A and B are shown apart, each in its own frame.
Chain A
Amino acid sequence: MKKLLRYLKPFKKQVILGPLFKLTEAIFELLVPTLMAHIIDRGVGRSDLPYVWKMGALIVGLGVVGLGCALTCQYFAARASQGVGTLLRQDMFKKIGQLSHRELDQFGTATLITRVTSDVNQLQVAVAMLIRLVVRAPFLVIGATVMAMTIDLKMSLIFLAAIPLIGLTLYVVMKKTVPFYRTIQKKLDRIGTVSRENLEGVRVIRAFSRQEQEKARFDDASGNLAGTSVRVGRVSALLNPLTSIIMNFGIIAILYFGGYQVNSGALSQGQIIALVNYMTQILLALVVVANLVVIFTKASASATRVSEVLETVPSITQQPGAAVPAPTAGCPKVQLRDVDFRYFTSENALTDISFAVQPGQTVGIIGGTGAGKSTLVNLLPRFYDAVAGTVEIDGQDVRQWPLDALRAQFGLVPQQARLFTGTIRENLLWQVPDATDEQLWRALDIAQASEFVQKLPQGLDAPVQQGGKNLSGGQRQRLTIARALVGMPPILILDDSASALDFATDAALRAALARIEGSTVFIVSQRVSAIKNADLVLVLDDGQLVGSGTHHQLMDSCQVYREICLSQLSEEEAAQ
């Protein structure tokens, strides 16, 4: 967390000068009650009119200079806090770009997004407050006390008694309420959860006519929230009345003891007024301190979350001396030797996997959910590193490849059809930024997407909304296939990427893929029909490679494969 402090470094000037300007203003502010006391004691007391005007002008003058100082400070605060935020966001985004899949999995997408956006915002606010208020508020408290001391040492004892009391009240009330804010947030989340469930399940709820029970569930959640809020409110409502009572009793004490001081001639009337004013200033400053405590509590949580990201070391990096291997004839395109892999648990996700794929072959990978199919293909472009054994592309361990060159070997169609805001063309150009339209259309043809893209009024330049919301699931999936096909990468991976296609389109797609020459194709699927005709079928079961060969070989030799086939195809289809 300390490392975050270096983000303040480029703004050293603002961070140091800003509070100084603010301090100047605060000093002026502290002088005002004393000056007013002079006006009353010397001006009014001795009927010295010019003195009144002189001091009055001085107060206004101090105000003008103070305004200038305050504005300068605000400007510095804006520059520094926004600047820190900008740098933090930039570095975090860069860091996220370097993280490996393993770290991305560990964090999770949702939290990374909040960390870059709202956590950084939180820190931005903290930096602004640091410059604007952190020095000012305590300074006003101390300054007002010191000023009171200069007026009368004995009277300042009242201040020394009141300040800790107010501080203690702040501390107790906040200690009692702050933890509850988390509880309230949880209860609010519960309201969101019940609402979401209700909307998602609306058909089932209405089919079973369970609206009344749902309402009861919601009433419970909303009543619960209201009850807790009221209870917490009861304590936090004490804060203002208690602090003002302490302050006002301080004022009463000033008047009471001040009376004796004035009577004995140790104090003047104007000085009593000044003391009363200082007391008021302290209260206002302490309220600010209370807000600051809340802001910095939040900010320190954010800071931890931000630095967690920044300090994460990516597990997969390019090794020194990495180079693209020279092509050798007869070498398998992809080869795995005794590969073990596990995620974050002690249990293996893949165990002892070995196979070799010749250039141009089509490989089908089949197995139930959680059998390790996607995991297996994720090892090839080195999204994850194997725990044991080696993964070789063109006869060289993937860890010896330069990362960019390695990944340029692959065209990947992920399970989730994810497109990005922009146009269809921009989405297709991800693989090869300078691909020609001809290349794009060819990819669209194979992906069975050219027909619908042609029908769009703007064709390739048709807009794609965030996440591809304006396209159907099937259209999105075909576009992600086309995106991978642009530039005809040497290795194509289709990770269960035909799930949203109907069987006719799926079949046409497979026929078109079969016609591609030169590329090695990996097809991950749960549908036997999708992989039946592959040159090599790999059957995974619970992380183990339980069969590899052609469809016919496996029908004879592999029990798991035969079970899968018979559950999906009729006897004669399976025998074909």
Chain B
Amino acid sequence: MKRDTRKESPVLGRLLRYMRPHLLFLVLALLAAAASVGLTLYGPVLIGRAIDMIVGPGQVKFTGVLYILLWLAGVYLLAAVFQWAMTLCTNRVAFFTVRDLRRTLFDKLQKVPLRFIDQSAHGDLITRMVSDIDLISDGLLQGFAQLFTGVITIVGTLLFMLSINVKIALVVVLITPLSLFVASFIARHSHDQFRRQSAARGDMGALVEEMVAGQKVVRAFRYESRAQDTFDGINQQLYQCGVRAQFYSSMTNPCTRFVNGLVYAGVGIIGAVAAIAGHLTVGQISAFLTYANQYTKPFNEISGVVTELQSAFASARRVFAVLDEPDEPTEAPAVLPRSDGSVGLEQVSFRYSPQKPLIEDFSLAVQPGQRIAIVGPTGCGKTTIINLLMRFYDVNSGRICISGTDIQDVTRQSVRQQYGMVLQDSWLFSGTVRQNIAYARPDATDEEIVAAAKFAHAHSFIKRLPQGYDTVIGEDGGSISQGQRQLLCIARILLVSPPMLILDEATSNIDTRTEQRIQRALAKLMEGRTSFVVAHRLSTIKEADNILVMRDGHIVEQGRHQQLLDAGGFYAKLYASQFEVQETAAQ
């Protein structure tokens, strides 16, 4: 237990730091909680006193009773108001704290090196952003409130009970922890079952996801009955674990209720015995009975809160793990002026992981206006070059210069502004067509936007969209085709008109007519601009001023088309395989 708290205290401390701006409400919440609990606990005392004034026929002191009842009404009204105030304050603290936490996390994602984003599963990061932070809000902040009121209730009840009668109070104090003991005993035993259940549930989820998503393949290979057998197996397993886990965990409630019953009976008996001996009034027994119920309730709740807190801490740790990622290294403040389009790579070495050398001692000089083709089999690491040029990643040694300036000596932003980038999986955000084109220059006029769209051959299809330039594109650009998305990206770049380009040629998912449009738009875009093209079509490659041939992440050859063919290396093999095969097939 102790080791746990030591481990969790920094997490708790950090969470408290996020709560600090809402400290006022936190304090108010605690005060309101204390007031509400105190007043609620005062109620049974007043009720007890009232009962003592209602002893029997002809022995009722009406004025006294009335006086107490008025008091009681005031006390309960106030308690309710404070309870409401407490919930309002904790809500504020909870919701605004998680809002700030989310914003901090999002900020962080803007600052981490691309390496981190590339290496993380995006689904996992989004889970942290959405569900983990939600768990923190539910578990920690609301659990915290419950824990706090629980503790105050226990302490308060104890004090009130002690003030009425020490002996009976001791009985309650001694029996009650039994329920805690029982609860933790059950929790320990059901924990194991829960683990097994969640493992089985995980298996089941994975299988369902796989088989349902792959249903068409299942159908094509007549795999249905085999899949059903596997499914039935896991389903049975889940049943076995499920029954046990559910039963064990549902034992807690009746068991603790039983213990509470014992306390209740104990107080009743001992109270009655004491009353017969004259140590206690009937009203006091009534107060005790109420307290006995109230005293045990928070114990039961606290055991529930503890598990909630644990999962909140686990989630918080996952969120903080991201926040602890180092930022992109700070950069020189100098700004790179608009370049003439010359790029130099001097003895550049780069590797993603220290053990795997990728690019070693690579040099390349690009004159303004030249076209560089990057070719190689899929997965050969063509994006690595883009990553280095755009300074998404920094080189390990050597340097990359634009117009003679080392790009490490200037701001990343000014380096990235030199390039226009059209990738194959063109990224659009959910917003209107107009907003997407003007993404880099929100101040662009409508004329400029339309001009850019016309230049990119996008105007004609945009006009046909239901709301023209104001058509909202869904997440991932759902409503328009991939080729059309690329045209929008080209228009977006035209609006900024950068001196250099990075292009990723389409392979095969675009229909021919749109592809022709893209080709024409790209050709116009490349005029007079230095361009780096991840190339798939022969014509582009043949016309390139320099071809970088990549294989398994390394640049294995560079030169012009004819030079490389004459050299008879990997490029020549790649090239030959295409024609060789075409010839044999034609025979």
CB contact list, B210-226 vs A, under 8 A: 210-226
Instruction: Find out whether the CB atom of A226 lies under 8 angstroms from the CB atom of B96.
Output: yes
Residues in A neighbouring B476, C-beta threshold 8 A: 200
Instruction: Find out whether the CB atom of B276 lies under 8 angstroms from the CB atom of A207.
Output: no
Known: A116-B212, A245-B77, A272-B54. A195 touches B110 (CB 8 A): no
CB contact list, A499-532 vs B, under 8 A: 499-505, 507-508, 510-511, 514, 525-527, 529, 532
**A90 partner, pick from B126, B222, B235, B512, beta carbons under 8 A:** B235
Known: A210-B439, A264-B57. A32 touches B76 (CB 8 A): no
Q: Which 9 A-B pairs have the closest CB atoms?
A: A368-B511, A70-B254, A265-B57, A237-B87, A56-B269, A241-B80, A507-B581, A502-B377, A233-B91
Does B354 touch A at the CB level, under 8 Å? no
Can you pick out 16 interface pairs between chain A and chain B where the beta carbons lie within 8 Å of each other? A39-B272, A78-B244, A86-B239, A93-B211, A117-B204, A195-B129, A210-B439, A262-B54, A263-B54, A263-B62, A273-B285, A280-B293, A499-B507, A504-B578, A511-B585, A514-B585
In Å, the complex CA distance between A229 and B36 comes to 23
Residues in A neighbouring B390, C-beta threshold 8 A: 203, 206-207
**Besides A259-B62, A264-B57, A414-B217, 20 new A-B residue pairs in contact (Cβ under 8 A), listed by A number:** A90-B235, A96-B212, A196-B122, A197-B427, A198-B110, A237-B84, A256-B66, A262-B56, A273-B282, A277-B289, A407-B222, A414-B220, A418-B214, A431-B221, A473-B379, A510-B581, A533-B585, A563-B513, A564-B512, A568-B537
Instruction: Find out whether the CB atom of A199 lies under 8 angstroms from the CB atom of B261.
Output: no
In Å, the complex CA distance between A204 and B412 comes to 13
Does B567 touch A at the CB level, under 8 Å? no
Instruction: Find out whether the CB atom of A504 lies under 8 angstroms from the CB atom of B577.
Output: yes
Q: How many residues of chain B have a CB within 8 Å of chain A?
A: 157
Q: Mark B475-493, 1 if CB is under 8 A from A, else 0.
A: 1100001110000000000
Does B109 touch A at the CB level, under 8 Å? yes
Does B528 touch A at the CB level, under 8 Å? no
Residues in B neighbouring A576, C-beta threshold 8 A: 582, 586
**A78 partner, pick from B110, B226, B246, B429, beta carbons under 8 A:** B246
Q: Mark A427-455, 1 if CB is under 8 A from B, else 0.
A: 00011010000000000000000000000
CB contact list, A204-251 vs B, under 8 A: 204-211, 213-215, 218-219, 222-223, 225-226, 229-230, 233-234, 237-238, 240-242, 244-245, 248-249, 251
Instruction: Find out whether the CB atom of B130 lies under 8 angstroms from the CB atom of A466.
Output: no
Instruction: Find out whether the CB atom of B378 lies under 8 angstroms from the CB atom of A204.
Output: no
Does A559 touch B at the CB level, under 8 Å? no
Closest partner residue, chain A, to B52 (CB atom): A269
Instruction: Find out whether the CB atom of A209 lies under 8 angstroms from the CB atom of B228.
Output: no
Closest partner residue, chain A, to B59 (CB atom): A263
Residues in A neighbouring B83, C-beta threshold 8 A: 240-241, 244
Residues in A neighbouring B348, C-beta threshold 8 A: none
Instruction: Find out whether the CB atom of B289 lies under 8 angstroms from the CB atom of A273.
Output: yes
Residues in B neighbouring A270, C-beta threshold 8 A: 282
Closest partner residue, chain A, to B82 (CB atom): A241
Stretch in contact with the other chain, from A60-68, A173-181, A290-298, A342-350: A60-68
Instruction: Find out whether the CB atom of A255 lies under 8 angstroms from the CB atom of B254.
Output: no
Closest partner residue, chain B, to A208 (CB atom): B440
CB contact list, B305-338 vs A, under 8 A: none
In Å, the complex CA distance between A200 and B426 comes to 10
Instruction: Find out whether the CB atom of B262 lies under 8 angstroms from the CB atom of A60.
Output: yes
Does A167 touch B at the CB level, under 8 Å? no
Q: Mark B143-182, 1 if CB is under 8 A from A, else 0.
A: 0000000000000000000000000000000000000000
Closest partner residue, chain B, to A564 (CB atom): B512
B96 to chain A, nearest CB (A): 6
In Å, the complex CA distance between A412 and B236 comes to 32
In Å, the complex CA distance between A60 and B261 comes to 7
A537 to chain B, nearest CB (A): 14
Does A104 touch B at the CB level, under 8 Å? yes
Q: How many residues of chain A have a CB within 8 Å of chain B?
A: 160
In Å, the complex CA distance between A25 and B253 comes to 13
Does A201 touch B at the CB level, under 8 Å? yes
Residues in A neighbouring B514, C-beta threshold 8 A: 368
Residues in A neighbouring B265, C-beta threshold 8 A: 56, 59-60, 63
Does B539 touch A at the CB level, under 8 Å? yes
Q: Mark B199-215, 1 if CB is under 8 A from A, else 0.
A: 00000111111111111
**A507 partner, pick from B125, B261, B376, B578, beta carbons under 8 A:** B578
In Å, the complex CA distance between A548 and B198 comes to 56
Instruction: Find out whether the CB atom of B103 lies under 8 angstroms from the CB atom of A219.
Output: yes
Does A322 touch B at the CB level, under 8 Å? no
In Å, the complex CA distance between A576 and B586 comes to 9
Q: Mark B406-421, 1 if CB is under 8 A from A, else 0.
A: 0000001100110101
In Å, the complex CA distance between A66 and B261 comes to 10
In Å, the complex CA distance between A49 and B275 comes to 10
Known: A128-B246, A474-B378. A204 touches B421 (CB 8 A): yes
In Å, the complex CA distance between A100 and B572 comes to 48
Closest partner residue, chain B, to A369 (CB atom): B511
**A414 partner, pick from B211, B216, B417, beta carbons under 8 A:** B216
Does B399 touch A at the CB level, under 8 Å? no
Does B257 touch A at the CB level, under 8 Å? yes
**A502 partner, pick from B98, B223, B246, B376, beta carbons under 8 A:** B376
Closest partner residue, chain B, to A480 (CB atom): B217
Known: A74-B247, A414-B217, A508-B581. A255 touches B99 (CB 8 A): no
Residues in B neighbouring A277, C-beta threshold 8 A: 289
In Å, the complex CA distance between A420 and B227 comes to 11
Known: A270-B282, A567-B515, A576-B582. A191 touches B378 (CB 8 A): no
Instruction: Find out whether the CB atom of A209 lies under 8 angstroms from the CB atom of B269.
Output: no
Does A71 touch B at the CB level, under 8 Å? yes
**B95 partner, pick from A229, A264, A510, beta carbons under 8 A:** A229
Known: A59-B268, A78-B250, A223-B99. A199 touches B282 (CB 8 A): no
B525 to chain A, nearest CB (A): 15
Q: Most chain-B CB neighbours within 10 Å: which of A66, A214, A420?
A: A420
Does A109 touch B at the CB level, under 8 Å? yes
Known: A206-B412, A241-B81. A368 touches B440 (CB 8 A): no
Instruction: Find out whether the CB atom of A209 lies under 8 angstroms from the CB atom of B416.
Output: yes
Known: A40-B272, A104-B216, A252-B73. A568 touches B512 (CB 8 A): yes
Residues in B neighbouring A206, C-beta threshold 8 A: 114, 390, 392, 412, 416
Does B358 touch A at the CB level, under 8 Å? no
Stretch in contact with the other chain, from B43-51, B365-373, B462-470: B43-51
Residues in A neighbouring B209, C-beta threshold 8 A: 113, 466
Residues in A neighbouring B290, C-beta threshold 8 A: 276, 280
Closest partner residue, chain A, to B412 (CB atom): A206
Instruction: Find out whether the CB atom of A192 lies under 8 angstroms from the CB atom of B272.
Output: no
B319 to chain A, nearest CB (A): 13
A208 to chain B, nearest CB (A): 4
A280 to chain B, nearest CB (A): 7
Instruction: Find out whether the CB atom of B69 lies under 8 angstroms from the CB atom of A252.
Output: yes
Residues in A neighbouring B264, C-beta threshold 8 A: 32, 36, 59
Closest partner residue, chain A, to B426 (CB atom): A204
Does B461 touch A at the CB level, under 8 Å? no
Instruction: Find out whether the CB atom of A52 lies under 8 angstroms from the CB atom of B57.
Output: no
Residues in A neighbouring B57, C-beta threshold 8 A: 262-265
Instruction: Find out whether the CB atom of A567 lies under 8 angstroms from the CB atom of B511.
Output: no
Closest partner residue, chain B, to A408 (CB atom): B222
In Å, the complex CA distance between A244 and B75 comes to 12
Instruction: Find out whether the CB atom of A200 lies under 8 angstroms from the CB atom of B122.
Output: yes
**A418 partner, pick from B213, B378, B481, B538, beta carbons under 8 A:** B213
Residues in B neighbouring A408, C-beta threshold 8 A: 222
Does A305 touch B at the CB level, under 8 Å? no
In Å, the complex CA distance between A44 and B51 comes to 14
Instruction: Find out whether the CB atom of B99 lies under 8 angstroms from the CB atom of A222.
Output: yes
In Å, the complex CA distance between A381 and B220 comes to 8
Does A392 touch B at the CB level, under 8 Å? no
Instruction: Find out whether the CB atom of B106 lies under 8 angstroms from the CB atom of A200.
Output: no
Does B556 touch A at the CB level, under 8 Å? no
